[in-house]
Structures are given as C-alpha cells and as structure tokens.
Structure 1
C-alpha cells in the first residue's frame, strides 16, 4: 500500500461535551471503498506534542487507503478546552466515548481503536465500554499505567538535577499520596488523574475478540519485541484475538520534539490493517 498521493486537508471542528469542547480532526476516507473508521487516542502529557507529525502522516495515509480517521485532543490537552489539572482518567474515557459516537455517524465499516503509548490503555478501556466488537491498533503500547506514571514522575527528578544540580524536596509520588498536585514538565498532575492512570491495565475486553495489531519501534538494527510484550500478547491470543505483532527499526519519536520520520511504522500499519503483516520477531 503506497503512502504517496495527494490527500485532502482534514476537517477541523470542536466536539461539544458536558465539560467544554474538544478539538478534533477528521480525515474523510478517500476512494470508492470505505474500509472502516479509526479513532485515534493520543499519548500522555508532552508525548502528545512529540508525536503529532508522525500521527498526522499516518492519519493521512489511512484516509488515502479508505479509512475515516478521527483524532481528538482530550480534556486539558492540545487545543481542547480545560487545563491538564482538570483532567481525570474517567473524563478522558467519556471524551473517547463521545468521539466514538461521532465517528459512527461519519464513517462506515469496521471500527479500529488506535492508541499510542498511554493512549493504548485508553483504547482498550474504551473497547470494554462499547456494545459492539472492535479492532485495536496499538503503537508502542503501555502495558501498565503505573509504569507510564513512574516514567512521567521521573521527569521531575531529572529537571531538578538539571536545574539545581541536585534533587531536593519531597518526591512527587509522596505528594500525590498526600493528596497534593505536582507540577512536572509544565503539567499539573492531580492525585485523581495519577490514580486513574496507575490503575489502567492493557487487558483483552470481555467481548467477542477482534484483531489486534501491535507495533513497536526500536533503535536496534535487528529489532525484536520486548519479553514483556511477548508474554502479554500470549494473553490476547489465549482470549481469541487475532494478533499481528511486529518490531521495527525506527526513531523513538514520542521521546523528543524533533520532527522524526517513521516510514517503516506507517507502512507496517497499512500492511497489517489489510492483513498483509507477518508475525513480528520475538526473542
């Protein structure tokens, strides 16, 4: 499936919710065949900004292939209303439910939930809430929300060392446990959001299984799925999901604000959604 060719500009709009409006981009499906709808759920905090370029490229490529793709900035994120301090995991799930409802009315065919990093946790949570079966496209998925939270909290310590040459004061995890919000890398993290993220797990929804496309990037010349991923994917296979898992060489673009390109990831996504992907290399 080629990534080349002109694609119309996405439709930008604000989706009304009970707590303000959410900024959305809809990429209408191109061509005569509509292959389905794809709802994209972005990663946590600053990772959203670092991933916009690659995600936009993938959304355009999917639209060109016949998918209707909806991107939403969740409460307090990106160009949506509200502050990050207003966000909760449950509020984000409600945003995702409203976005799904909108997509159902504007795209025909099978539903794919596409999540990146912590967005994968939200995608599987949404899948569990939906009445109908769906498929999952997961990029570099976080398996446990607690691990994602710990990675974010480490930014606080790193910034202290870089700014002052030492780390002082109570650790952010201690403040959160005491019911206090913490400011990390320009984001105010509340105990409520931290608890919701920490409790999130990447689990097969209790419903008829669909397809799971699991894609990871590595800087290694001969990438392999991580042992944790291999072990976790066995749970999905045991639950009846048709799993396509692949490790690819490419930039870890969610870790930087550089304008990285990930052509192998984009092509693999198209190939696997069309059933052409092979099982990924495993240790």
Structure 2
C-alpha cells in the first residue's frame, strides 16, 4: 500500500488536512496549501465551513430524520467530529460505512474504525468513479433495504465530467430506498468564489487529483428527482447554522435532499 503514497506531489486529502490544522501532511502539501491560500485567502474558511456543515447535516439526519445508516464517500483523513462520532452521539446504534481510495487515508483507517458497541463502523477501499463497487461492498455494514444517508462532501468535484458525476449520484440513489437522503457540498466560482479560478488552475498543475468547480445549475442537476430540504441550495456555511452562529458565506454549495 505504501508504494502508492507519493510524497513528492501534493494530494488533496493531505492539503485539506493541513487547512483544517491537522498534522497528516508533508512539506509539499503545506507548500501547495500555502500557495493556494495566497491566491485564494478564504480557502481555509471553506474547509472549516464544509466540516461544520457535515456535523450539522449528520445531527439533523440522526436526530430529526431518524436516519441510522450513513454512507460517507470520499471521507478524507480522520479529524474531529467524524460522521460516526456525530451520528452515534445522537443514536449509538448508527451504522457508518466510510469510502475512500487514497493510500494515506487507508493508513489511518484504524482511527476511523471505532464505533459505539451498539453500532458499527466499516472502511471500504473504493473509488467514487465506480459506484457499483461501493454498493457491492457496503453489506453487511449497511442494509440497502433501509434508508441510507449518502454523504458526498467535496467529492464530485474530482469527477471532472458532469454527466459522469450525475451518473454516479443516480446509481447510488437508485440503489437506496425511499426515505434515504443525499448530502452534497461542491466548490463553485459563484458565491464570491470567482477568485478561486486561478487557484484551481494552479492546483491542477501542481497537485492531485485534478478538481473542477460547478455552477448552481450543475449542482442542482445532481439533486434531480429528490426533495431538497430547506433552506435549499445555499453556501454550506449558511445551511441551518447553529443558533447564534454568524457564519459568513463561502464559495461552496451545500444541500441535503430526501428521496421520496
């Protein structure tokens, strides 16, 4: 597994970890992360807002929507308030399947593979480009006949072809029953993110994997056939903010939708 780990080129999972204040990164990741921050100073705020959105969405799904199964695709390196920690704090019997195919993340899988005695947590080495493989691997951790929250935070932006990204989402959501939910975030050059275009070009020339931004219309297409919950498609920082929180909008769409 370690022969897949490249320390000579920046990688998204490690740079994201750096922006979140983690220590699971290399000098090349910090150098690229600092360069991107210099070009787009709010990128750290985007990373933190995306993480906070995950916590609020999972709390809602576990506490109010009654969801007890979570499929977290593109989970990244473990940090504070992982999906299983948030869900099992509300409902200890919650079951979580994490999916990623990054070797650095795999080496940290043991940190994710913790669970309350009542619930379960599993780790799947699979690629978001191939949803059929993910669906084959989730059992027995998840029961596809019961509602599942499919979490895809900051992952569809690595599937560069929009039609292919839509197909991935459709395949996953077609496989889960009514009452399941889809949780999405995605970078955009809207919402004040116009300055990110140059930073994204730099990223694609100096780091891996390549990334793309999408418009609101493209983001909305991923939610086709689903009931988008209030407040709709917004900056992820503004999706049901905690009481008293004054989150400024960031250039990252966020939405939660229910399969009817």
> Fold-level match, TM-score > 0.5?
no
TM-score tier by shorter-chain length is 0.3 to 0.5
Bigger-Rg structure (1/2):
1
Q: TM-score, normalised by structure 2?
A: 0.39
Q: TM-score, normalised by structure 1?
A: 0.37
